């Protein structure tokens, strides 16, 4: 198993052999750049949620485990190959689902309605969906976007978007999560403690 330091530098490949769409290929090139930057890996390793805890929300995984899943590229628990393998398929809907993945397939399904957005946002969606393929989750119940945004798929996707926007010379701001009030922070820590005990 790679150490934390090795996880910060291990090269990740992006398999583009199963993708034909020029727009997605362009996105994958940018993603391959971003995911190999130490800056992104350090962001994952040092992520701190608004409750002051070094962990993404809605997961039991430590930041190190999340980074390991991200780097290892073992989709659905398949072999560790340090390569992101995925296929892309499309659907069209007026709804608010931008993309989705399924349990047993490496296919990322993209809503064509949302392909009109800027390239960095499409990269965000692709990285978010890839995080699902390697076992990162978030609840589908919407407890408010401030919570959702601090789950691994959302926060990592958002940070990649920020890095690519910056690289392209666009207006770019890193994801920011205001710190919860003292009372809410204590309540959160007690809740976590109880989860661990029982
Ligand atoms: Zn998702």
pLDDT tens per residue across span 61-120: 999 999 999 999 999 989 999 999 989 999 999 998 999 999 889 999 999 999 999 999
Distance 125 CA to ligand 1 centre (A): 9
Q: Are 151 and 189 in contact (CB under 8 A)?
A: no
- Phi and psi for 111 in degrees, rounded to 5? -80, 115
Distance 132 CA to ligand 1 centre (A): 7
Model pLDDT, residue 143: 64
How far apart are the C-alpha atoms of 47 and 63, rounded to whole Å?
7
**Rg for the chain, CA atoms, rounded:** 17
pLDDT tens per residue across span 137-181: 988 776 666 788 999 999 999 999 999 999 999 999 999 888 877
- Phi and psi for 197 in degrees, rounded to 5? -80, -30
Report the length, in residues, of the chain: 198
Distance 185 CA to ligand 1 centre (A): 25
Among the ranges given (25-34, 132-141, 156-165), the one the predictor scored with the smallest mean pLDDT: 132-141
Average pLDDT over residues 48-52: 92
Q: Residues within 5 Å of ion ligand 1 by Cβ?
A: 153
Model pLDDT, residue 103: 85
Q: Does 198 have pLDDT greater than 80?
A: no
Distance 128 CA to ligand 1 centre (A): 6
Contacts of 72 (CB under 8 A, 6+ apart): 80, 81, 82, 134
Identify any residues that bridge with 109 across adjacent strands, giving them in sequence order. Answer: 89, 100
Model pLDDT, residue 162: 98
């Amino acid at each position: 198993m790679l150490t934390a330091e090795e996880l910060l530098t291990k090269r990740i490949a992006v398999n583009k052999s199963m993708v034909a769409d020029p727009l997605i290929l362009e996105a994958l090139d940018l993603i391959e750049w971003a995911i190999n930057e130490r800056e992104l890996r350090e962001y994952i390793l040092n992520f701190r949620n608004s409750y002051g805890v070094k962990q993404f929300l809605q997961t039991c995984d430590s930041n190190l485990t999340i980074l390991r899943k991200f780097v290892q590229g073992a989709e659905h628990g398949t072999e560790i190959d340090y390569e992101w393998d995925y296929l892309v398929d499309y659907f069209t809907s007026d709804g608010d689902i931008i993309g989705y993945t399924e349990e047993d397939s490496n296919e990322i399904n993209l809503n064509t309605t949302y392909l009109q957005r800027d390239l960095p946002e499409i990269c965000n969606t692709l990285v978010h969906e890839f995080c699902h393929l390697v076992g990162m989750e978030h609840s589908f119940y919407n407890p408010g976007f401030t919570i959702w945004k601090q789950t691994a798929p959302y926060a990592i996707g958002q940070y990649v978007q920020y890095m690519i926007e910056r690289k392209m010379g666009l207006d770019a701001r890193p994801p920011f999560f205001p710190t919860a009030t003292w009372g809410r922070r204590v309540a959160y820590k007690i809740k976590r403690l109880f989860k661990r005990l029982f």
